[in-house]
Amino acid sequence: MDNLKRRHITTYNDSFESTQYTQPVDVHVQQEKLHKPSQPHTILPQYSSNKYIAYCQQHHEVIIPTVLTILSFWTRFRLISLSQIVVWDEAHFGKFGSHYIKHDFYFDVHPPLGKILVGLSGVLAGYNGSFGFDSGSTYPDGMHYGVMRVFNAMWGALLVPLAYLTARQLNFSIKASVLTATMVLLDTALLCISRFILLDSMLLFFTCTTLYSLSKFHNYRHESFSEEWYMWLFMTGLSLGCVLSVKWVGLFAVALVGIYTVEDLWDKLGDLQMPKVTYAKHWLARILCLIILPLTVYLFSFALHFALLYKSGDGDAQMSSLFQANLEGSSLGQNPLELAYGSKLTIKNFGYGGGLLHSHIQKYPEGSKQQQITCYHHKDDNNHWIIKTPRNGNPDDYEGGSDNDNNENTPIRYVTDGDVIRLMHAPTNVNLHSHPISAPVTTGQWEVSGYGNDTVGDLQDNWKVEVVDDLAKGNDQHRIRSLTTRFRLRHVQQGCLLTANNVILPQWGFKQVEVYCDKRNRLDDPHSWWNVEEHYNDKLPPAPPNAYKSHFLQDFWHLNVAMWTSNNALVPDPDKIDILSSEPSEWPLASVGLRMCGWDDNTIKFYLLGNPIVWWSSFVSILYFVGSALFYIVRMQRNIHDLTSGQWDQFLYVGKTLFLGWFLHYIPFFMMGRVTYLHHYFPALYFSIFMGPFLLDHYTRTCSSRTQWIIFGTFFFLVITVFIYFSPLAYGMKGPVNAYAGRKWLNSWNLVD
């Protein structure tokens, strides 16, 4: 019995720590199956004879986080307004925040929650949204940009106490927990990224709350369906929804929690004494809190996004035409309802992420070498087309048609399902044309080009209109209506369909979307569906009120697909040298840094670079854990047990959680085609930071207190000393950068060169 009791005594805790974090072992297996909380054996703490030290020991769980929080806020807020220029991606996210203040619609590849919070920081700072946030520009007098930076730095500052509390939930000793928090506190990269108007501090904060909430939930696993159990399951789902709503990198946190949940439910499936109803309740609770709740938060962030951005802006073209018609200031709501010959219009591809049918004077470099036809996501005059009488058609058969546009007394002929039309590009007068020449990128399909003019051309200028349906239910689907009618344009001669499938043209096509004529006759492909967006015809009255309505879920889905499409288009340009981008293989050992602003002598310079001690030790500890776990597994297979059952379960659970958190947030970047930057590694770094103190705890558990303090003290000294030496990189370097040349430890750092 004494031996059994000793198994309950954790070897990770310092002498005055509470045993509330200990893990129950073999003797409580039956209790776990009965879902009863375990009763770990407790040790009476021994306090110092000094009353002040004893007081600190008694209240360490309040005092330590408080001190860490004060230090964190001081380091993050110190000199935060020193640089008066727009630094790095403040040019993007500050501008996005301005849109929420001005309420004009914009488009970005990230979900909206973080940018809504940036907008909130502007409101709190009394900012009116008028500043352009041009890169490198100086903030105007009277604009409290420091308040906006402080608001964003707050999220980064909270990482430190949360890191400590998370380490305690993972059963770290106090020394290891404080070391973990200190490494987060004194990492120059995490410090630097949190001091500007960016999304990364918010992303890291919600990643941190996800790990903390999951750890709390795990520690209540023997008290299933208690209030605390439900609360931390709910908080885990809420954190997942928030991190996913800031950046899609949050999907990796979702994957981590998903793996934990699947493993947990699998273990419960093997509990033959658990009633089936109870097991079903476990599933239901997780479905509600870990699937429905995060999706609800994600949906709510977009609902708030649409509610705040109710005015027409520069991102309109990424959205459906119906959505745009409901924006304040948009002219689409005044479109003439039904399409007629002689109308000038813009035509939008209905596929998610689709753009506007576009042309410009540039020619294809190969193929027909005729004028380029593309899809473009921004509105300009090159998107305008005019509906004309078909080639070889009799103008007399098209009353009010293109040949009689100047005669105001002629009747209007509306475009109907099955009509053959010709589309003339308004700025250049060429006709939308196709022929049996391979498209430039999608070579298996026919090229679409601009050819001829109003008098010069051939039958290959003719396109047949085929109605798909009308989004306004109940409308006569024989007529073509602005915004609501979805239709195909079939080439009369070739029988192929005008299509834009989000294939990006090379630089000669200005990275716009390729348009081709698809001969596969895929009638259900939305990328071959089109709708009229802008519609101009002086002979026709504007649409009646409330003729155009959009639905939230359709708008939500459309925007998310457009975000996904644009995100995938962020690929490295081989013709352009990007000194800011980096490869994932360069991140773990801090072999690369990032210049965040101009590098002249008169500019306050910031260099995004991690504390080498923090980054190097964190990555080595990840590798060391893998080796240690394999070592223990091999020895256990040979019936050699270095750890008790409880110790092994704790070692495996903590190490596996941290390793998977690092792995899931890091390795996918090797498979992404998009351009990558150093800050993409920060969520993975956060998980890896925990691994070093965890292993120090594990391997010094049998050492004397003096030896432990020497080992931990050495790490504290190195982290603090190196931080002090490298801190000017995060707080701002004044004067010639050569004065900081001694801080260039690796040749790959472009700090000076």
Residue-wise DSSP of 14-57? -TT--STT----GGGHHHHHTT-------------SSHHHHHHH
The model's confidence at residue 412, banded by pLDDT at 50, 70 and 90, is: confident
Identify whether 273 is part of a domain: yes
Identify whether 563 is part of a domain: no
The predicted pLDDT at position 396 comes to 66
What is the CA angle 305-310-314, rounded to 5? 90
Q: What is the mean pLDDT of residues 385-396?
A: 85
Which residues pair with residue 357 across a beta bridge? 375
Q: What is the DSSP letter of 190?
A: H
The predicted pLDDT at position 354 comes to 81
What stretch of H or E contains 193?
helix 188-193
In this structure, the number of other CB atoms found within 10 A of the CB of residue 443 comes to: 11
Q: What is the mean pLDDT of residues 444-457?
A: 94
Query: Do the beta carbons of residue 235 and residue 166 sit within 8 Å?
Result: no
Query: Do the beta carbons of residue 211 and residue 687 sit within 8 Å?
Result: yes
The predicted pLDDT at position 517 comes to 97
Q: Which two tokens stand for residue 519?
A: 């001969």
Query: Do the beta carbons of residue 463 and residue 452 sit within 8 Å?
Result: no
Give percent above pLDDT 90 in the chain.
77
The predicted pLDDT at position 204 comes to 97
Sequence-ordered list of residues with C-beta below 8 angstroms from that of 185, at least 6 positions apart, any chain: 68, 71, 72, 75, 160, 191
Q: Which two tokens stand for residue 563?
A: 């975000």
Identify whether 79 is part of a domain: no
Q: What is the mean pLDDT of residues 283-289?
A: 97
**Residue 301 and residue 403 in one domain:** no
* CA 634 – CA 631 distance, rounded (Å): 5
Whole-number Cα distances in Å, 161 to 46, 172, 294, 753: 25, 14, 24, 37
**Residue 383 and residue 302 in one domain:** no
Q: pTM of the prediction?
A: 0.85
**Residue 406 and residue 520 in one domain:** yes
Question: Beta strands of 528-658 (E only): which ranges?
Answer: 530-536, 594-595, 607-608
- Is residue 683 packed enough to be buried (19+ CB in 10 Å), middle (13-18) or exposed (0-12)? buried
What's the pLDDT tens digit per position in 306-333?
999 999 998 888 888 889 989 999 888 8
Asked which of 526, 550, 574 is the last residue of a domain, the reply is 550
The model's confidence at residue 575, banded by pLDDT at 50, 70 and 90, is: low
Q: Which two tokens stand for residue 226?
A: 């208690």
**Residue 454 and residue 395 in one domain:** yes
Identify whether 312 is part of a domain: no
Identify whether 205 is part of a domain: yes
Q: What is the mean pLDDT of residues 623-637?
A: 96
DSSP assignment string, 67-106:
HHHHHHHHHHHTTTTS--B--TTHHHHHHHHHHHHHTB--
In this structure, the number of other CB atoms found within 10 A of the CB of residue 101 comes to: 17
The predicted pLDDT at position 674 comes to 85
> Which residue range forms the structural domain that includes residue 536?
336-550
Q: Is the pLDDT of residue 202 over 70?
A: yes
Q: Is the pLDDT of residue 100 over 50?
A: yes
The predicted pLDDT at position 347 comes to 96
* CA 288 – CA 306 distance, rounded (Å): 25
Q: What is the mean pLDDT of residues 342-353?
A: 90
User: 3-state DSSP call for residue 554?
Assistant: helix
What stretch of H or E contains 622?
helix 612-637
Identify whether 388 is part of a domain: yes
Q: What is the DSSP letter of 544?
A: P
**Residue 358 and residue 271 in one domain:** no
Give percent above pLDDT 70 in the chain.
91
Q: Which two tokens stand for residue 691?
A: 């691994």
What's the pLDDT tens digit per position in 452-485?
998 899 999 999 999 999 887 666 678 899 998 9
Q: Which two tokens stand for residue 357?
A: 């049918």
Q: Is the pLDDT of residue 164 over 70?
A: yes
In this structure, the number of other CB atoms found within 10 A of the CB of residue 604 comes to: 17
More confident of the two residues 725 and 350: 725
- Is residue 738 packed enough to be buried (19+ CB in 10 Å), middle (13-18) or exposed (0-12)? exposed
What's the pLDDT tens digit per position in 492-539?
999 999 999 989 999 999 999 999 999 999 999 999 999 999 999 988
The model's confidence at residue 86, banded by pLDDT at 50, 70 and 90, is: very high
The model's confidence at residue 33, banded by pLDDT at 50, 70 and 90, is: very low
**Residue 536 and residue 443 in one domain:** yes
Sequence-ordered list of residues with C-beta below 8 angstroms from that of 371, at least 6 positions apart, any chain: 359, 360, 361, 362, 363, 364, 425, 428, 430, 449, 450, 451
- The answer to which of 152-156, 217-221, 701-705 has the lowest mean pLDDT is 701-705
Which residues pair with residue 449 across a beta bridge? 372, 433
What's the pLDDT tens digit per position in 540-553?
998 887 778 888 99
**Residue 273 and residue 219 in one domain:** yes
Sequence-ordered list of residues with C-beta below 8 angstroms from that of 588, at least 6 positions apart, any chain: 615, 618, 619, 622, 666, 681, 688
Please give the tally of structural domains in the chain. 2
The predicted pLDDT at position 29 comes to 38
Query: Do the beta carbons of residue 257 and residue 214 sit within 8 Å?
Result: yes
Q: Which two tokens stand for residue 163?
A: 């890191």
In this structure, the number of other CB atoms found within 10 A of the CB of residue 581 comes to: 15
Query: What type of residue sits at position 186?
Result: L
Q: Is the pLDDT of residue 304 over 50?
A: yes
Question: Beta strands of 398-484 (E only): which ranges?
Answer: 420-425, 431-438, 446-451, 462-470
Query: What type of residue sits at position 666?
Result: Y
The predicted pLDDT at position 41 comes to 47
Query: Do the beta carbons of residue 447 and residue 518 sit within 8 Å?
Result: no
* CA 235 – CA 226 distance, rounded (Å): 14
* CA 308 – CA 313 distance, rounded (Å): 12
Query: What type of residue sits at position 569?
Result: A
- The answer to which of 12-21, 111-120, 370-379, 589-598 has the lowest mean pLDDT is 12-21
Query: Do the beta carbons of residue 394 and residue 323 sit within 8 Å?
Result: no
- The answer to which of 23-32, 249-258, 466-475 has the lowest mean pLDDT is 23-32
In this structure, the number of other CB atoms found within 10 A of the CB of residue 392 comes to: 12
The model's confidence at residue 1, banded by pLDDT at 50, 70 and 90, is: very low
Mean pLDDT, the chain, whole residue set: 89
Identify whether 412 is part of a domain: yes
Distance between start and end Cα atoms, the chain: 67
Compute φ and ψ for 649, nearest 5 degrees: -60, -45
- β 530-536/344-349 pair status: antiparallel
Q: Is the pLDDT of residue 139 over 90?
A: yes
The model's confidence at residue 50, banded by pLDDT at 50, 70 and 90, is: confident
Identify whether 703 is part of a domain: no
In this structure, the number of other CB atoms found within 10 A of the CB of residue 724 comes to: 10
**Residue 295 and residue 341 in one domain:** no
Q: What is the mean pLDDT of residues 554-578?
A: 82
Q: What is the DSSP letter of 594?
A: E
Asked which of 550, 579, 600 is the last residue of a domain, the reply is 550
**Residue 404 and residue 293 in one domain:** no
**Residue 346 and residue 478 in one domain:** yes
What stretch of H or E contains 247?
none
Query: Do the beta carbons of residue 306 and residue 452 sit within 8 Å?
Result: no
The predicted pLDDT at position 48 comes to 72
Range with the largest mean pLDDT of 30-34, 163-167, 475-479, 579-583: 163-167
The predicted pLDDT at position 137 comes to 95
Location of structure tokens 């490869």: 583
> What CATH number corresponds to the domain at position 462?
2.80.10.50
The predicted pLDDT at position 583 comes to 94
What's the pLDDT tens digit per position in 657-699?
999 999 999 999 999 888 999 999 999 999 999 999 999 999 9
* CA 369 – CA 504 distance, rounded (Å): 18
The predicted pLDDT at position 49 comes to 75
What's the pLDDT tens digit per position in 263-272?
999 999 999 9
Location of structure tokens 């997780």: 286
The predicted pLDDT at position 392 comes to 84
Query: What type of residue sits at position 119?
Result: G
Asked which of 307, 326, 347 is the last residue of a domain, the reply is 307
The predicted pLDDT at position 26 comes to 39
User: 3-state DSSP call for residue 517?
Assistant: strand
* DSSP tally for the chain: helices H, then strands E: 22, 15
**Residue 292 and residue 240 in one domain:** yes
**Residue 376 and residue 232 in one domain:** no
- Is residue 166 packed enough to be buried (19+ CB in 10 Å), middle (13-18) or exposed (0-12)? buried
The predicted pLDDT at position 34 comes to 41
